[in-house]
């Protein structure tokens, strides 16, 4: 199981200098921490700050890891209620490019 620091570093690698998101996204791991992606600034900034975002994705840390490893399908996870999206759904859809 990955810790928050490892997940944060992996997100920095996936997001890169410019993810093309053009928005901010917060991954809320339901009490296990937060990863915040500022996709508006270039270079993009990934941190563990809990601040307002254009899109907040609530997901268990283990499910997030499975998603990143390709072991969990995002659409299936959403339909099963494992992923909850608040805010701009269009931003959530753009995340698929980061997780490929």
- Predicted confidence (pLDDT) per residue in 82-98, tens digit: 999 999 999 998 888 77
* Structural domains of the chain sorted by starting position, each given as residue range(s) with its CATH number in brackets: 4-95 (3.30.1050.10)
Determine the length of the chain: 100
- Check pLDDT > 60 for residue 46: yes
HSE-up of residue 16 (Cα within 13 Å, Cβ side): 9
Alpha-carbon span 37 to 11, nearest angstrom: 8
Question: Which pair of tokens denotes residue 88?
Answer: 């701009």
Q: Which residues pair with residue 87 across a beta bridge?
A: 55
Give pLDDT, residue 44. 95
Alpha-carbon span 75 to 79, nearest angstrom: 6
Tell me the whole-structure pTM to 2 decimals: 0.92
C-beta separation of 31 from 58 below 8 A = no
């Amino acid at each position: 199981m990955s810790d928050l620091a490892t997940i944060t570093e992996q997100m920095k690698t996936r997001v890169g200098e410019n993810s093309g998101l053009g928005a901010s996204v917060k991954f809320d791991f339901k009490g296990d921490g937060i990863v915040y992606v500022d996709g508006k600034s270039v270079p993009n900034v990934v941190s563990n700050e809990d601040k307002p975002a254009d899109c907040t994705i609530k997901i268990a840390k283990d499910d997030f890891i499975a998603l990143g490893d390709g072991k969990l399908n995002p659409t299936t996870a959403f339909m099963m209620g494992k992923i909850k999206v608040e805010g701009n759904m269009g931003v959530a859809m753009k995340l698929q490019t980061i997780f490929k």
